[in-house]
Amino acid sequence: MKGGDEAMAAPVASSQPLEWKFSQVFGERTAGEEVQEVDIISAIEFDKTGDHLATGDRGGRVVLFERTDRKDNGGSRKDLEKMDHSVSRHPEFRYKTEFQSHEPEFDYLKSLEIEEKINKIRWCQTANGALFLLSTNDKTIKFWKVQEKKIKKISSMNVNASKAVGSECIASSSISRNSTHLLNGGSCDGVYNHPSNDLLGAISSLRLQVTSHESSLLARCRRVYAHAHDYHINSISNNSDGETFISADDLRINLWNLEICNQSFNIVDVKPTNMEDLTEVITSAEFHPTHCNTLAYSSSKGSIRLVDLRQSALCDSHAKLFEEPETPGSRSFFTEIIASISDIKFGTDGRYILSRDYMTLKLWDINMDSGPFASFQVHEHLRPKLCDLYENDSIFDKFECCLSGDGSRVTTGSYSNLFRVFGCSPGSNEATTLEASKNPTRRQVQTPSRPSRSLSSSFTRVVRRGGSESPGADANGNPFDFTTKLLHLAWHPAENSIACAAANSLYMYYA
């Protein structure tokens, strides 16, 4: 650790490592089944309550899941908090609904195909029992409302069918013989004796019985925010004010009002006058969880900038800059590539920012810009293989990261469908490796103690028969599979529960 008073400011949690257990899987493929490209999950997000989970895939679909174990037990969140926490609850989710969010498009002006793939999903505030969320592909953001509608049907009525048919015939017949002709050429029907009075009487006493049958979930696109980005959108983030959100591409960040879809404000622009002078691009952006005037964005050079919207309309000048000084003599062809930050996340209280580059996870204290508060080695074992990773483009993979609700642990994914959980409280040596499968215990490995000052560890330390470590192998001693990678995952906001995506399958774990 760095600095003098970090131990007091650091996340506080139990130093005991968590024991992770498999909970559920959705969409697991059978052995030998080929995964369709459109079914691969590309985004995961819990809502603020943790009772709903959304996933997006490369086919432009959004799938919603809802928590059921609270409903089944009939208990509220407060009731569950009062229960004995020594009993580990098994969180259960079920499929709720799905809808087609985006379709493939073609930009005729730029001769460019726009994929339907969902890049990000963000939940918005709920209202009147309806769920609201934002989803985006490379160019277009959509605001969705998902609401439960009860289907109502007429179950019975007191109309006499035979009379209704007879009256209909009378109504279409010629003028009745009982009609009285008036002096002015008109006529006066025998109203009191007219047979159609049977129909009028039936209507006046009509009674319908309407019953509600099964409910149907309806997803409706409320607004479309388009034509505001020249480059691919990599991030969207809701503001804590509940009214605005940002969208970021490689060179610009735009500020939107949820109610206005035809206008946005450009608040960050890093595009140089001459594109040949371009040295870095924006890779991720996120609003502060409680301060509506603050946001952070990361760059391909490994830096994070904190922006204060109160300073100026165009926030090209940052309030704070977070970057780790380069070690002298360590520069190589791959230095800038592996330094690029693929994802950043604020902690729940906004004090810490978690960032993920290709090799490491870093936890930053926003009050300490001299360097990261803690670093966790994730892919250090792959350093000798960087040439091969560059040749097969794996070095450009963008892994996401997330923090636990209490800020005491962080997690990120890797190859062979593995993901890692690190403890980030002072003195913690927690570093657990799991595989996204139905049997995660066979790859749950606890890393031996590590120096608390650096808070770093190797990816996994596995003692095989020969007693040697194999940095290029997984917990079973098998070589890492670079074709299977766990890029997307999310941590439940209030519990130790993780959802992660391996190809088209969604795996759930709890501790």
Query: What is the C-alpha R_g of the chain?
Result: 30
* Region of poorest pLDDT, from 114-118, 216-220, 462-466: 462-466
Q: Is residue 12 part of a domain?
A: yes
Q: Given a cut of 60, is residue 451 above it in pLDDT? A: no
CB 455 within 8 A of CB 475: no
- Residue 206: inside a domain: no
Half-sphere exposure of 375 (CA within 13 A, CB side): 15
Whether 191 is in a domain gets the answer no
Write the CA distances from 150 to 210, 211, 217, 218, 349, integer angstroms: 12, 10, 9, 10, 39
Least confident of 147-161, 228-242, 340-354: 147-161
Closest CA relative to residue 372, chosen from 469, 303, 308: 303
pLDDT, position 196: 56
At residue 470, the pLDDT reads 42
Cα gap 219→240, rounded to integer Å = 24
Q: How confident is the model at residue 353 (pLDDT cuts 50, 70, 90)?
A: very high
For residue 146, tell me if it sits in a domain. yes
Asked if the structure places residue 36 within a domain, the reply is yes
Q: What is the pLDDT of residues 38-83, one digit of tens each?
A: 999 999 999 999 999 999 999 999 999 999 987 544 444 445 444 4
Q: Is the pLDDT of residue 374 over 90?
A: yes
pLDDT above 70: residue 240: yes
The range of the structural domain enclosing residue 427 comes to: 6-153+212-510
Pairing of strands 409-413, 244-248: unpaired
Please calculate the CA angle 228-60-341 and round it to the nearest 5 degrees: 60
| Nearest Cα residue to 350 out of 83, 62, 11 | 11
Q: What is the pTM of this model?
A: 0.78
Per residue in 283-331, pLDDT (tens digit) is: 999 999 999 999 999 999 999 999 999 988 888 888 999 999 877 777 8
pLDDT over 70 (residue 458): no
105-152 residue pLDDT tens: 988 888 889 999 999 999 999 888 899 999 999 999 999 999 988 777
State the CATH number of the domain containing residue 139. Answer: 2.130.10.10
What pLDDT does residue 153 have?
Answer: 73
- pLDDT at position 487 over 80: yes
Domain count, the chain: 1
Does residue 277 lie within any of the structural domains?
Answer: yes
The rounded mean pLDDT for the chain is 81
Bridge partner residues of 135 (DSSP): 121, 142
Range with the lowest mean pLDDT among 208-212, 237-241, 386-390, 503-507? 208-212
Structural domain contains residue 163: no
Whether the Cβ atoms of residue 7 and residue 1 lie closer than 8 Å to each other: yes
